[in-house]
Amino acid sequence: MKAEILQARREAVPADAPAWGAAEFETKLRERGRAYHIHHPYNLMLNGGRATREQVQGWVANRYYYQIAIPVKDAAVLSNCPDPAVRRGWVQRILDHDGFELGGVRDAGGIEAWLRLAEAVGLSREEVTDQRHVTPGVRFAVDAYVNFARRAPWQEAVCSSLTELFAPEIHKQRLATWPEHYPWIESEGLHYFRSRVSQARRDVEQGLSVTLAHFSTRAAQERALEVLQFKLDILWTMNDAIALKYGVSA
Binding site for ligand PQQ (CB under 6 A): 70, 161, 163-164, 167, 170, 196, 235
53-80 helix and 136-151 helix, angle to the nearest 10 degrees: 20
Contact 217, 12 (CB under 8 A): no
- Closest separation in Å from C-beta 107 to ligand PQQ: 14
- Closest separation in Å from C-beta 87 to ligand PQQ: 15
**Among residues 56 and 70, whose Cβ is nearest to ligand PQQ?**
70
- Contacts by 97-101, CB closer than 8 A, 24 or more apart: 97/67, 97/70, 97/71, 98/71
**Among residues 93 and 133, whose Cβ is nearest to ligand PQQ?**
93
- Closest separation in Å from C-beta 239 to ligand PQQ: 9
Contacts of 12 (CB under 8 A, 6+ apart): none
Name the residue with the smallest CB distance to ligand PQQ.
Answer: 163
Strand partners, 101: 106
**Among residues 17 and 226, whose Cβ is nearest to ligand PQQ?**
226
**Among residues 98 and 212, whose Cβ is nearest to ligand PQQ?**
98
Q: What is the CA radius of gyration of the chain?
A: 18
- Closest separation in Å from C-beta 24 to ligand PQQ: 23
